[in-house]
Amino acid sequence: MKSRFLCLLAVLIFSSNFAFAEKTSEQTLPQWAKDLRRTEIITFGSLPFVTLWTTVGYGLAVHGTFHNPLNKSTTRYTQTEQKQIFAISAAASVGLGLTDLAINLIMRNVKKSRQNKIEKTIRVIPFSEQMLEIQNSEPENFEEEFNFEREREPKKEYLIGGLENAIF
């Protein structure tokens, strides 16, 4: 009875801590902290699944048979084999977390470099300055700069003439 009361009390204390906790916005945390947290979540989150598949793979590779790790009636692994399985699982989980971190960092740098290239090529001019530039610049010969009568190229004319002959 006493242990149930203590468990209930512990659950209430921890749940009330989450209820009254201050919500942190994404802007308050630096990017490296977000990346570190994501890596931690992926590493520890993948550990149970990686351990399960490592156990199955270890049984097939070392013993040559399928050992179901969830079935207690099958033969058990020795303590050294269990340590090896857990070490392999931990290394694979850390590898998954670091791989995800590397992919995210590379993608962020590529996106940032593309954004920098776009920002360098685009020049924003306020409308009032643009109008001043147009008013101050007078073309020497209006007809030459804005030629409304465009000459047709002979290739285009030949193509158009050939289509007319083909249709009619």
Q: How do residues 17-72 score in pLDDT, each as one tens digit?
A: 555 555 555 568 999 999 999 999 999 999 999 999 999 899 889 888 877 777 77
Q: What is the pLDDT of residue 85?
A: 92
Which is more confidently placed, 16 or 47? 47
Domain count, the chain: 1
Q: Among residues 154, 137, 153, which one has the least CA distance to residue 145?
A: 137
Q: What is the pLDDT of residue 67?
A: 75
Q: How confident is the model at residue 76 (pLDDT cuts 50, 70, 90)?
A: confident
Q: How far apart are CA 114 and CA 108, in angstroms?
A: 10
Q: Which amino acid is at 90?
A: A
Tokens at 28, concatenated: 């308050």
Q: How far apart are CA 96 and CA 93, in angstroms?
A: 5
Residue carrying structure tokens 């300055």: 129
Phi and psi at residue 137, to the nearest 5°? -95, 115
116 lies in which domain range? 29-129
Cα dihedral 80, 85, 87, 88 sign? positive
pLDDT digits (tens, 9 = 90+) for 96-140: 999 999 999 999 999 998 888 877 777 666 766 666 666 666 555
Q: How far apart are CA 9 and CA 11, in angstroms?
A: 5
Q: What is the pLDDT of residue 34?
A: 95
Residue 10 lies in a domain: no
Residue 1 lies in a domain: no
Residue 142 lies in a domain: no
Q: How far apart are CA 60 and CA 22, in angstroms?
A: 49
Residue 71 lies in a domain: yes
Residue 40 lies in a domain: yes
Tokens at 134, concatenated: 């147009």
Residue 113 lies in a domain: yes
What pTM, to 2 d.p., does this model score? 0.54
Q: What is the pLDDT of residue 132?
A: 66
Residue 153 lies in a domain: no
Residue 5 lies in a domain: no
